[in-house]
Amino acid sequence: MTNNRAVTEAGIIEYSDTGKGMPLLFIHGGHSNSKETLFHKGFDKDTFRLITPSRPGYGKTPLTENGSAGKTAVLFISLLDKLHLEKVIVIGISAGGLTAIEITANYPERVSKLILISAVTKKWLTNKDNTYKKGKILFNPALEKYTWWLYRSFFKVYPKMAASLLAKELSKKVFPLEKPEIEELYNMVDKQRSKRGFVNDLNQDIPQGIINKITSPTLILHSLNDNAVCIEHAKFAANNILRSLLKTYNNNWGHLLWLGQEGKEPIADTLYFINN
């Protein structure tokens, strides 16, 4: 998978584009970018075309004036124009949920279906939340590369301990860590950087009522044990999107629904939704 760069009417955007067939637009979460592959798991590249842009502030997509979810939606629609794609399935993951909602609400003719995975669907954090405070310090654009370097170095030496620390941030459950899951987790972490994107995510919001405009069939997937984005975000989406279906899971890894063997169930539910 190679990364591409497009100059669109709305700005410069980095993206990956792999596979052929039905186009899926992945809108990644915090600390991620167009190199993200965890959520590609389960999608046959002979059946699906997987398009993953770096959101503004992440990867090589500049933040500039595109920091809001609404402006990011305009940028991503411009990318679809550049790729000559009239309609896609939008998959919003974690902090990418707000952009997925903006695209689906404002460009219904471009979205056949919406899938929200562990997604933020309203204002996520306030400056009183510990996650907000820690995020502002640890992932400040001046410090984040050192934070990630230290964590990855620690992960290489003490993989189980490093995975356990991250598990506490992502899940409300205490559970035994399996070696294949630790390896899969490191493959994800190894591609991550926060750059200017995560601090921007901490303050992101969307206009009240915009979620009610969504008319596309919508699948909402969320863990009952999610310790990063609480289940209330999924319930809020289900209550405000007319043609929506909410699926919940009692998985170990909470926020990371796709990780490990437990990922088979949400992947199967997603494929069924897409194909029916």
Task: List active site positions.
Answer: 94
Integer CA distances (angstroms), 44 to 21, 24, 41, 270, in order: 9, 12, 8, 13
The arrangement of strands across the sheet holding 218-223 comes to 3-8, 11-19, 48-53, 22-27, 88-93, 111-117, 218-223, 244-249
Which H or E run includes 256? none
Is residue 93 within 8 Å of 27, Cβ to Cβ?
yes
Q: Counting beta carbons within 10 angstroms of the beta carbon of residue 175, is it exposed (0 to 12), middle (13 to 18) or buried (19 or more)?
A: middle
Amino acid at site 254: G
